[in-house]
Structure formats: structure tokens, C-alpha cells
Amino acid sequence: MFVIEKPKKIGKVAIYESLLMQAQGLFHDENDMIANAANLSSLIYNSLENVNWAGFYFYKNNELVLGPFHGMPACIRIELGKGVCGTAAYTRKSQVVKDVHQFDGHIACDAATRSEIVVPLIKNGELLGVLDIDSPMVARFTDADRIGVEKLAEAFLKSLD
């Protein structure tokens, strides 16, 4: 049985270091993409404060398709270049959006979402999808979150070897 260790009120760097260690423990001896995506989305959703959605979209047939997640039901398919997830996938760059209502072309899957961070998943030069985290708070995500989530995404990708 795995027990999620909720980080105490400490700095973001320490929170993400704790999450990274827990994620690596979950990934130990497991390389199934769906299983590891499900566990990582659960870990993130249940560990970070002020998060209302955490999950994956996988790149299939030139679009993003919903993968494992935690939160309210979500959009199933997203075109590359559309919304925050599609933009991250298309540009292959992490997106930190302080207010999704100010993001041109935002796709509102959950009306409660106000800010979002999306990290593209790229392995051996190939786009596998994106890791997406939403919050009901404006400006919930900072550069420290981007760095932390990118490290979690990197650990996820490494687990697929």
C-alpha cells in the first residue's frame, strides 16, 4: 500500500522534491505508461493545494486524447495549437497561465478553473502528450511550479524505459 505524504507548509522547491521522491517510488519497477500516468495524476491531485484537476492528454492521430486524470470530467480531444494543452503540445514548451480567461482560445472544460500549467511530454524527440494541472485560483502557478512539474514529467518519461 502506498501512503501519500502530504507536504507540510514548506517552500515550493521542497514540496516538489518530496513529490518527485514519491513519484519515483511509485514508478519503481513499473514502466506502463497508463499505470504511471494514473498514479502521478493522483499523487499531484492529492498533494498540491488549490488544484482542481491533474492529468494527462496523450498524442494520438495528430490530436491530444484524454488520459488518466483526477478532477471533474474533461474534454476528450484537443487539437494541437488549441487551448493551453494544445499550445504546449504544438510549441513543445511549458505553459504557465495566470488567468485562463485571458488566454486566447482557452478551452473551458471546468468553469471553476482560473489558472493552469501544462508541460509537454517529449521523449527521444517525439511528442507523447502533456501533463496538465488546473487551479481555481488566479495566478496559482509560478516559475517554481513549472520547474517542479517539469521534473515530475521528466521522471514520468524516464519510467517508460
Q: How far apart are CA 134 and CA 148, in angstroms?
A: 15
The whole-chain average pLDDT of the chain stands at 93
**What are the tens digits of pLDDT across the range 75-114?**
999 999 999 999 999 999 999 999 999 988 777 777 789 9
- Asked if 92 and 108 touch (Cβ cutoff 8 Å), the reply is no
pLDDT for 123 beyond 60:
yes
CA distance 63 to 56: 13
Q: CA torsion, points 90, 92, 96, 102, in degrees to nearest 10?
A: -20
Q: pLDDT tens-digit profile of 24-79?
A: 999 999 999 999 999 999 999 999 999 999 999 999 999 999 999 999 999 999 99
User: Residue 34 and residue 89: Cα distance in Å, rounded?
Assistant: 19
Q: How far is CA 100 from CA 20, 87, 91, 118, in A?
A: 27, 13, 18, 12
**pTM listed for this prediction:** 0.93
CB atoms within 10 A of CB 77: 13
For residue 144, CA distances in Å to 18, 73, 111 come to 14, 28, 25
Residue 25 buriedness (CB in 10 A; 0-12 / 13-18 / 19+): exposed
